[in-house]
Amino acid sequence: MTQPPRPPLPWTTRISVAVASAVTDAARRSNGTVNRRLLSLLDARSPASAKPHRGVRSADVVVDQARDIWFRLFAPSDSAAAAGEPFPVIVFFHGGGFAFLSPASRAYEAVCRRICREIRALVISVNYRLAPENRYPAPYEDGTDVLRFLDRGGLASADPAAADLSCCFLAGDSAGANIAHHVARRWAAGAGWERVRLAGMVLIQPFFGGEERTEAELRLTGMPLVSVERTDWMWRAFLPEGADRDHEAANVFGTRAAAAAGKLEAALPEAMVVVGGFDPLQDWQRRYYEGLRSRGKTARLVEYPDAIHAFYAFPELKQAAALMEEIKRFVDAHRSK
């Protein structure tokens, strides 16, 4: 049998992804639960810092203490910020298969700081409830509640930075990109929005799926971080008890999707969909892009043939820098729309 190709990675990155894979594998149990105690020892975290670091300051803002919904706000701290320049807002949902990590996790702290600094935007990194303790639709509800909090003026009372909520983007990676899509659908279906206008979605290697095994899932075995065995476990932990992977949360354009989906998708903002050539999920991501296009939506597909899943979290990879440039172009193109 022909062995699948190996992604071209520096040895330092290979070690990092091997450690990350080992941590999640050790924390997830065969009975579908997560060893949170073990994970708390292995998930390195960083505190928010009001003191600027490389032009960015951060603060944690509570939305709903009872449900532990909060976000980490990253804001530019340079002269433009001091002058009250309004910044676009990027609401970011972290990845982790719906079950792992948080805005305080060191990797996401670094990614969101970089987005804030390079894109020149306020970044709101959402802490949503995790599976399996909180299954579907908990993170979708939490994300929508954060948008409602912003729409009611919660950001203005939490931080003095000037936010342009009429130029708001939903962004996320992996499971976070899945959440961004579903929160955008809820925004489109909702009523009474006064301040928040969604200008676009940035979906980085979104985590979608289905009962079918795609060509990439079968071909790209042994890849870092993502495997069929791992993603199957994550869907079982997240989806309602008894549901399969053709549930509309996973297979968003599948035959079981809600009958009203077409009308909701028509109201979605423009999307930028990012795909990596060594990501086993890539076929589902391209189907999502094609699904948007077939429904008359403007969508942009950005592909990195040599990229693994979560490549953006490793600044030593050239594709990580290229992605920041693409996000900046996408955001800048929508600032005045």
pLDDT at 129: 98
Give 33's strand partners: none
pLDDT at 280: 98
User: Is the confidence at residue 243, as pLDDT, over 90?
Assistant: yes
**Catalytic one among 43, 151, 173, 279?**
279
Residues sharing a CB contact under 8 Å with residue 281, sequence separation 6 or more, in sequence order: 205, 206, 207, 208, 209, 216, 217, 226, 231, 309
% pLDDT > 70, the chain: 93
Region 291-307: what's the mean pLDDT? 95
Region 232-245: what's the mean pLDDT? 97
User: Is the confidence at residue 283, as pLDDT, over 60?
Assistant: yes
225: its two tokens: 């971080």
Q: What share of the chain is helix, strand, coil (3-state, %, to 5)?
A: 40, 20, 40
Q: What is this structure's pTM?
A: 0.95
**Residue-wise pLDDT tens digits, 141-199:** 999 999 999 999 998 876 766 899 999 999 999 999 999 999 999 999 987 899 999 99
What is d(CA 172, CA 178) in angstroms, rounded to the nearest whole number?
A: 8
Region 54-72: what's the mean pLDDT? 96
pLDDT at 192: 85
pLDDT at 228: 97
Residue 309 among the catalytic residues: yes
pLDDT at 155: 87
What does residue 214 show for φ and ψ, rounded to 5 degrees?
-80, 170
259: its two tokens: 């009958």
**Catalytic one among 58, 174, 182, 283?**
174
User: Is the confidence at residue 260, as pLDDT, over 50?
Assistant: no
Residue 174 among the catalytic residues: yes
Provide the CA 166 distance to its chain's centre, in angstroms: 21
Region 317-332: what's the mean pLDDT? 97
What is d(CA 317, CA 193) in angstroms, rounded to the nearest whole number?
A: 39
**Residue-wise pLDDT tens digits, 87-127:** 999 999 999 999 999 999 999 999 999 999 999 999 999 99
**Residue-wise pLDDT tens digits, 126-136:** 999 999 999 99
**Catalytic one among 182, 247, 309, 334?**
309
Q: Is 182 helix (H, G, I), strand (E, B) or coil?
A: helix
DSSP state of 254: S
Residues sharing a CB contact under 8 Å with residue 274, sequence separation 6 or more, in sequence order: 202, 203, 204, 205, 285, 302, 303, 304, 323, 326
- The overall longest dimension of the chain from CA atoms, in Å, is 62
Region 214-230: what's the mean pLDDT? 95
What is d(CA 76, CA 83) in angstroms, rounded to the nearest whole number?
A: 11
pLDDT at 191: 78
User: Which value, in Å, is the radius of gyration of the alpha carbons in the chain?
Assistant: 19
pLDDT at 77: 87
Q: Is 277 helix (H, G, I), strand (E, B) or coil?
A: coil
Split at pLDDT 50, 70, 90, the class of 337 is: low
Q: Is 25 helix (H, G, I), strand (E, B) or coil?
A: helix
Residues sharing a CB contact under 8 Å with residue 296, sequence separation 6 or more, in sequence order: 266
Residue 16 among the catalytic residues: no
